[in-house]
Copies of this chain bind each other. A is one copy, B any other.
Amino acid sequence: MEVYTQELPMRTSRRVELIDITSMVTGVLESSGIRNGILNVFSRHSTSAIFINENESRLLSDIESMLEGAVPVDASYGHNIIDNNADSHLRAVLLGGSQTVPVINGSMDLGTWQSIFFAEFDGPRNRRIRVSVAGKP
């Protein structure tokens, strides 16, 4: 078995932004030469998340609304005394910062309606995502 890893740098453009990174992750998998195993996408930040779902614009707005309902931006958080982004951290805790996906015959085994998203909750910022692949060539 082999291990391959690559860091994906990105620039986000809004405070809250849901970005489809499936093709970037596919590029790393192709560079890896690994054909069967597992792939991990990990965000190296505590105010962002990685999730998998359908890339449909109205649904992405619904996801933003759900998060605004569960963790409102303007609530009185203790952490905001330190750094005015507690909502960004709390949303990151709720969604989680990584996803692990099976790799079969050289491709991620995603379903038809599954895309991988980077969820920015405290942008615009420069961000780094680590993609790791473990498996057989």
**Which A positions have Cβ atoms within 8 angstroms of B?**
1-3, 5, 36-38, 40, 42-46, 51-54, 56, 58-59, 61-63, 65-66, 70-71, 77-79, 81-82, 86, 89-90, 92-102, 104, 109-111, 113-114, 128, 130, 132, 134-136
Could you say which residues of chain B place their CB within 8 Å of the CB of A61?
78
With A45-B111, A79-B59: A92-B40 Cβ-Cβ less than 8 Å: no
CB<8 Å pairs between A and B, sample of 16: A1-B2, A5-B104, A37-B134, A42-B100, A46-B114, A53-B92, A58-B82, A59-B77, A59-B89, A62-B77, A66-B93, A70-B70, A93-B95, A95-B96, A97-B99, A97-B114
**In the complex, which residues of chain B have a beta carbon less than 8 angstroms from the beta carbon of A111?**
43-46, 128
Q: A1-B2, A5-B102, A46-B114 known; 20 other A-B pairs, CB under 8 Å?
A: A1-B134, A3-B37, A5-B36, A37-B132, A37-B134, A38-B40, A40-B102, A42-B109, A44-B111, A51-B96, A53-B89, A53-B92, A53-B93, A54-B89, A58-B82, A59-B78, A59-B86, A62-B78, A63-B93, A93-B95
A101's closest neighbor in chain B, by CB?
A: B42
